[in-house]
Structure 1
Amino acid sequence: MKPLFVNYPKCTTCQKAKKWLEENNIDFESRHIVENNPTKEELKAWLTLSKQPIKKFFNTSGILYREMNLKEKVASESEDNLLSLLATNGMLVKRPILVTDDVVLIGFKAETWAEYFKK
């Protein structure tokens, strides 16, 4: 499976990540996170594969996150409710997300991505 690069094209971090993938000759499938928001089922699978807490999937620096006062909700709501919330709007989801057969990388850190692709 080609890695799935879930991104928001106007996001500068996503642009850097895309450039990194291209410069490293990594063939990937690109998906616009707002036009094709991850479903609850996808997010649940990605959460398991990422081995990260659900709070890592929230775009905490986003306007929508702040407008909705989600900091407290993320700390207290059930995982199921939070997955449902994330599935409502791609702007709530941290990006970029890189999904492969065996890992989900959230956000972009060149060192982390390079380490993964060295395998």
Structure 2
Amino acid sequence: MITIYTTPGCSSSRKAKAWLKEHNIEFVERNMLTHRPSVAEIKTMVGKTEDGVDEIISTRSQIFKKLGLDLETLSIQKLFKVVSENPCFLRSPIIVDEKRLLAGFSEIEIRRFLPRKTRKFYLQQAQLLVN
């Protein structure tokens, strides 16, 4: 099952939900501000990234800047706790399933959540267009 962590008013979250619905992909939505991700959930997210915490944390957040956090010196346990208490530090949306994670919205990257048969079909169609 796919879980999409969203924040209210986020246009990327709206785009991602619309894309999933358009492709008939079932998902559970979690508003990160009203249902904060736990430390365990954040650890799981980081475990599914390619670039670690840099992939899921928005250092452009006003609160992040205001607190003056330095990711290089903060222990990982402290970072997980701070992020759990301040979910606005997380990029939005964050889409996860059993194996994959996508932070933010990308029309190309979100395709990884299509069922394998559908991805294969689209690939075959694209190859026909090229030939």
TM-score range, shorter chain: 0.7 to 0.9
The CA deviation at 1:12 is 1.0
In structure 2, distance between residues paired with 1:31 and 1:116: 17
The TM-score with structure 1 as length reference comes to: 0.88
- Structure-2 residue corresponding to 1:21: 20
Contact 1:54 1:79 in 2 (8 A): no
The TM-score with structure 2 as length reference comes to: 0.81
**Residue 110 of structure 1: SS of its match in structure 2?**
coil
Larger Rg: 2
In structure 2, distance between residues paired with 1:116 and 1:24: 10
- Structure-1 residue corresponding to 2:43: 44
Contact 2:49 2:55 in 1 (8 A): no
The CA deviation at 1:11 is 0.7
Q: How many residues align?
A: 116
Output aligned runs, 1:28-67, within 5 Å.
Answer: 28-67=27-66
- Structure-1 residue corresponding to 2:8: 9
Return 5+ residue gaps in structure 1 as ranges.
none
1:8-27 Cα deviation digits (max 9, x unpaired): 13111111111111111111
Return 5+ residue gaps in structure 2 as ranges.
117-131
In structure 2, distance between residues paired with 1:17 and 1:36: 19
The CA deviation at 1:89 is 1.5
Amino acid at match of 1:77: L
Distance change >3 Å, CA 43–CA 62, structure 1 → 2: same
Off by >4 Å, runs of 4+ in structure 1:
none
In structure 1, distance between residues paired with 2:114 and 2:77: 31
- Structure-1 residue corresponding to 2:119: none
**Residue 5 of structure 2: SS of its match in structure 1?**
strand
- Alpha carbon RMSD of aligned pairs, Å? 1.4
**Residue 75 of structure 1: SS of its match in structure 2?**
coil
Contact 2:7 2:31 in 1 (8 A): yes
1:41-70 Cα deviation digits (max 9, x unpaired): 111111112233212221222221121123
In structure 1, distance between residues paired with 2:97 and 2:52: 18
- Higher relative contact order structure (alpha carbons within 8 Å, sequence separation ≥ 6): 1
**Residue 76 of structure 1: SS of its match in structure 2?**
coil
